[in-house]
Amino acid sequence: MLDDRHDVPANALRPAARVMRLRRMGASFPTRLSFLRTLLRRLSREGAQVSRPVWQMDAAGFGHAVYSVGLGGHTYSLVAVSTDLPPDQRTDRVIATAWDTAYVLYDGVPTEAEVARIVATAPRQEAARFTDRDLVLSRANKSVRLFSHVVEALKAGRQPDADLVRDTGYLMRTTAVYGNGKFGIADRSRIADRLGLDGPFMAEMLTVWLIRGFTHDLVEHVGGATLDIGLKRHLGIGNSTGLGMAPFLVSHPMLLNAWITARETALARVRAVEFLTSAQIEDLYRLTMRAAQHLAEWNVVDCIGQSRIDRMRQEWPQVAALMTPEVMAGAFPADRLMRVAETFSADTQECLAALLIEPFGELVDDLVDDMATDRRARLDPSMLGTDLAALIDQEWAWAICDYEAPAACHQFWYVSQSKAEPRLGLRHSEPGGELESPLDIARQVCRLAADIRADEKVADLLARCPEHRTAVRRVQALATAPYAEIRDNLIGEDCLPIDMLRCKLSFFGAAKFDPKSDRWTRITLCQGAPLADELDHADDWWLPTFAP
């Protein structure tokens, strides 16, 4: 079959009923369509240069700096502020009020007066006032052990311990990267049509990449020496992400559909390639070895997470064994590999899918243009009840169950007043169920199904039962946006929010997920990414490995 918009040969996309299950979403890996990869390709194509017009840091590394870069015909500047934070005030929680460093991505090159304003306000974060020239607001804390070790090593005239650098992977970790009008900064509409920032989370990704460069400069400044280039490339930006991110995929169904559709279309195009070139075959062999090394370096304390990694380590040599010269030189090798791999775990399958997409930039990179969307789910009031019921039978059968059963309504989502972020409560043992957030999409659709009358239009149904408005809209939308819904019960006993987090973070470009429970994880962004002076070869860092 042909892809309708681009007239590019493509296999059928994998069915949403399979792709959108939580377990498979929680096996997601970054791909060349991930947002960081897209951003750095753009910077590379434009020959972007990063300058540092301001560096006012004392010997201990406290002060401020400004970094400027051109992108899409505009200039953006990161204003970085480093402060002396007492150890007892250092916390990664979103409710913290002080951090080691604070940042603003500024629209343009700030004047001295604007720099002074940001230096005074950025460390206060949510408590400060900002302008529509401030595009992104962020903060980060040091990985104290590694940062101090690197400084001490450089001061002593040696490089830091490679194993410690490998195992930690970052000098600082962000605790928030805010965009889109939060706390008075610029709305996305200000930059949504600008080349380079028109894709999802591009301003935030630019901020993270520039912060990463600042952390390198800061540790070298305090240490008084230059960090080894291999170690520097391996040092990305850490992040601790919890339940606050999980509801995003539920509240932005059309955006989720756009992201998954792009990835699945990329895979479908690659599976439709009849014969590989020798260069593509060599790339796939090289990337298969890289993935094996990545898995060998990836260790976590979480039992579930480590068991999945262990199984991938067992299965990956079998994947490599499938890539015989006969298969790779034969017809439709990618499709053949994906079909055989269906016997492996979801994690191994998704890693293989990401790998197969990697060497085909010319074939798939245009898909990133469709990953930002202003599409909204529209309600059709003229639809008959029979047609609405048919949609539920076709796409929502998994949602129909007895939600009075304890296992089916085991959890409830709410927003903590004290911690100002989403939380999960246990319905049958904890108070607060009356404060539940409406993330129970499956239960809402089940209740809708029970109230449908075959000969009644949706308009009349909603006049009679207005509480079903959201469910009707989502049911109707799924008919044309098949990847818009997580096809699992998000209040059920088996729901692991970590799977939702990993899916979203993989689109950011995160790797080496380090879950600390089923509700929050640490990640590393920009690990292995090109440095500011390496953008001429910006696109070969899928699944970073340690190469000092």
Give pLDDT, residue 97. 82
- CA 487 – CA 491 distance, rounded (Å): 12
Q: Is the dihedral of CA 449, 453, 454, 457 positive or negative?
A: negative
Cβ count near 471 (within 10 Å): 25
| Strands (DSSP E) found in 155-309 | 170-178, 236-241
- CA 473 – CA 471 distance, rounded (Å): 5
Give pLDDT, residue 92. 67
Of the candidates 181, 172, 205, 159, the one whose C-alpha atom is nearest the C-alpha of residue 42 is 205
332 backbone φψ class: left, alpha, beta (φ>0; ψ -120 to 50): left
Give pLDDT, residue 498. 94
∠ Cα 235 240 245 (to 5°): 130
Per-residue pLDDT of the chain (548 residues; tens, 9 = 90+): 444 455 788 899 999 999 999 999 999 999 999 999 999 999 999 999 999 999 999 999 999 999 999 999 999 999 999 999 888 777 766 667 899 999 999 999 999 999 999 999 999 998 999 999 999 999 999 999 999 999 999 999 999 999 999 999 999 999 999 998 888 999 999 999 999 999 999 999 999 999 999 999 999 999 999 999 999 999 999 998 888 888 999 999 999 999 999 999 999 999 999 999 999 999 999 999 999 999 999 999 999 999 999 999 999 999 999 999 999 999 999 999 999 999 999 999 999 999 999 999 999 999 999 999 988 999 999 999 999 999 999 999 999 999 999 999 999 999 987 666 889 999 999 999 999 999 999 999 999 999 999 999 999 999 999 999 999 999 999 999 999 999 999 999 999 999 999 999 999 999 889 999 888 999 999 999 999 999 987 799 999 999 86
Q: What's the whole-model pTM score?
A: 0.95
Of the candidates 372, 340, 397, 393, the one whose C-alpha atom is nearest the C-alpha of residue 261 is 372
150 close to 227: Cβ distance less than 8 angstroms: yes
Give pLDDT, residue 1. 40
Torsion over CA of 505, 508, 513 and 519, rounded to 10 degrees? -20
Q: For the chain, how many helices (H) and strands (E)?
A: 21, 11
Give pLDDT, residue 2. 41
- CA 195 – CA 41 distance, rounded (Å): 13
